[in-house]
Amino acid sequence: MFESLRKHLEQVIEISDQEFDEFCGLLSPQKFKKRAILIRPGDLVQSEFYVVSGCLQVVHTSENGDESILQFAIEDWWVSDFAAFFNGTRARLTVSCIEDSTVLELNKNYLEELYGRIPKFERFFRIKLTGAFVALYERIQNGLEKNSTERYQEFCETYPNIEQRVPNYKIASYLGIKPESLSRIRRELQEKL
Amino acid sequence: MFESLRKHLEQVIEISDQEFDEFCGLLSPQKFKKRAILIRPGDLVQSEFYVVSGCLQVVHTSENGDESILQFAIEDWWVSDFAAFFNGTRARLTVSCIEDSTVLELNKNYLEELYGRIPKFERFFRIKLTGAFVALYERIQNGLEKNSTERYQEFCETYPNIEQRVPNYKIASYLGIKPESLSRIRRELQEKL
């Protein structure tokens, strides 16, 4: 369960066996069934989750019940309601499983303490956070300058093979388009091949 | 010029005089006239800028010339095309001055070297980046759940007194609404007082 995490860390920092063991000691493995909810609006969010296997979604629900999918998380991604996690405020989002999923839960308080003890983990999370910030920044720009077909193609690059795992209407929600538009885009791309 | 920066740092980390001097040694003070351009689309972005005085804007220009303001930066803010800055890619945005401005330029290469020498600066920038990430994350959520009036009120909290400094149509662009709608919102809020 921890091999993929070690690779994930070593893409960014070098770590010894002992440092890796210390980090693993802070993580709590959890298994969830499809449709299980990890975070609900109103929860205090103390944890972020590393995805070992499965697929999760981060959903915003409006007052009239409309759902918008803000993020998917597959193997090797971190997921949470990050605004609530970092700010210590109540969750506004729902994090739930689209498939049976195994995650490693990391509590915020452990993390602060780890930064003091082994500063290279602070480096690791700074660099991961930079990536997440840039991805969000670019997503806003893409919304301004790319059409739905281009955004769909980018989606397929960001989440390889996710199309086989996630229903169409969820992908359409993530892209901010109607399911019919997504079907049309796919058909057109298929015809071009 | 450097006093505000020292306060800005000390809101997050404790630093000695010597550490502060080392940091200041990496910064290059620059003065720009109103309308001066610091970053253009296509530029390699090696620097981020701390605003000592003045006001800058980050603008996205679409193929047909439509401009969307993604960010303002006033005193005590950092500004850049952050996707290009962090990824080492070409700028897609324009950063320019709305007022005569004084900034401190920080080169990326100096920064990496500083992290190795004084790790607490890595902590400082991790925490600042966390704040920027959360702000972006919440801005996307606010776009989904708040109406224009609420988003305008939030804007006024984020950028105190900026209304006196920035033309209406720029604030409307930032909020993604028409200038007429902004005038109506202001009138309605005024009547409620």
- Contact across the interface for A134 and B82, Cβ inside 8 Å: yes
Q: What is the pLDDT of residue B143?
A: 77
Cα–Cα distance measured from residue A182 to residue A176, given in angstroms and rounded to the nearest whole number: 10
Mean pLDDT of B164-187: 91
| pLDDT tops 80 at residue A193 | no
Q: What is the pLDDT of residue A137?
A: 85
A73 token code pair: 């998380």
Q: What is the pLDDT of residue B23?
A: 94
Q: How confident is the model at residue B2 (pLDDT cuts 50, 70, 90)?
A: confident
Q: What is the pLDDT of residue B152?
A: 92
- Contact across the interface for B132 and A133, Cβ inside 8 Å: yes
Reported as a single tens digit per residue, the pLDDT across B98-152 is 999 999 999 999 988 898 899 899 999 999 999 999 988 888 888 777 889 998 9
- Contact across the interface for A141 and B62, Cβ inside 8 Å: no
Q: Are B41 and B157 in contact (CB under 8 A)?
A: no
Contacts of B174 in chain A (CB under 8 A): none
Contacts of A138 in chain B (CB under 8 A): 83
DSSP classification of residue B26:
T
| pLDDT tops 80 at residue A144 | no
Q: How confident is the model at residue B186 (pLDDT cuts 50, 70, 90)?
A: very high
Q: What is the pLDDT of residue A146?
A: 83
Angstroms from B40 CA to nearest CA on chain A: 15
CB nearest to B129's CB, from A62, A83, A130: A130
Q: Are A170 and A57 in contact (CB under 8 A)?
A: yes
How much is the ipTM here?
0.82
Reported as a single tens digit per residue, the pLDDT across A47-82 is 999 999 999 999 999 888 888 899 999 999 999 999
Q: What is the pLDDT of residue B85?
A: 94
- Contact across the interface for B141 and A83, Cβ inside 8 Å: yes
Contacts of B63 in chain A (CB under 8 A): 145
Q: What is the pLDDT of residue B24?
A: 94
Mean pLDDT of chain B: 92
Reported as a single tens digit per residue, the pLDDT across B55-89 is 999 999 988 888 889 999 999 999 999 999 999 89
Reported as a single tens digit per residue, the pLDDT across B12-61 is 999 999 999 999 999 999 999 999 999 999 999 999 999 999 999 999 99
Q: What is the pLDDT of residue A14?
A: 95
Angstroms from A7 CA to nearest CA on chain B: 21
CB nearest to A141's CB, from B92, B129, B137: B92
CA end-to-end distance (rounded Å), chain A? 38
Contacts of A87 in chain B (CB under 8 A): 134
CB nearest to A130's CB, from B60, B86, B136: B86
Angstroms from B84 CA to nearest CA on chain A: 9
Reported as a single tens digit per residue, the pLDDT across A11-44 is 999 999 999 999 999 999 999 999 999 999 999 9
A182 token code pair: 């997504």
Cα–Cα distance measured from residue B44 to residue B15, given in angstroms and rounded to the nearest whole number: 32
